[in-house]
Amino acid sequence: MDTTLPEPQRLDSAAHQRAIEALAHEAQVPIEDVRQLYAREWAAIAAGARITQFLPILTLRQVRAILRHRGTPS
């Protein structure tokens, strides 16, 4: 039985860049702001993750929720 864990995904990969650009466009927020938020949320989620396969989608959902919350009037 192979117990080797997959290599952690690099945040500078093309898939992450596309996700960051899409989130920035969707929320009308500068890409650099989204990139920083994405990296912060990735690190927070990854810190406690035993299974890393779903990190991209969990991070995407979390960042989208944060951006939506920021965009709602108080």
| Residue ranges covered by each domain of the chain | 14-71
Give tens-digit pLDDT for 14-72. Answer: 989 999 999 999 999 999 999 999 999 999 999 988 988 899 999 999 999 999 998 77
In the prediction, which pLDDT does 71 show? 78
Q: What is the pTM of this model?
A: 0.81
Sign, CA dihedral 4-20-36-74, equals: negative
In the prediction, which pLDDT does 12 show? 73
In the prediction, which pLDDT does 11 show? 72
Query: How many Cα atoms sit within 13 Å of 55 on the Cβ side?
Result: 24
| Residue 4 token pair | 């080797």
Tell how many helices (H) and how many strands (E) occur in the chain.
Answer: 3, 0
Residue predicted with more confidence, 12 or 1: 12
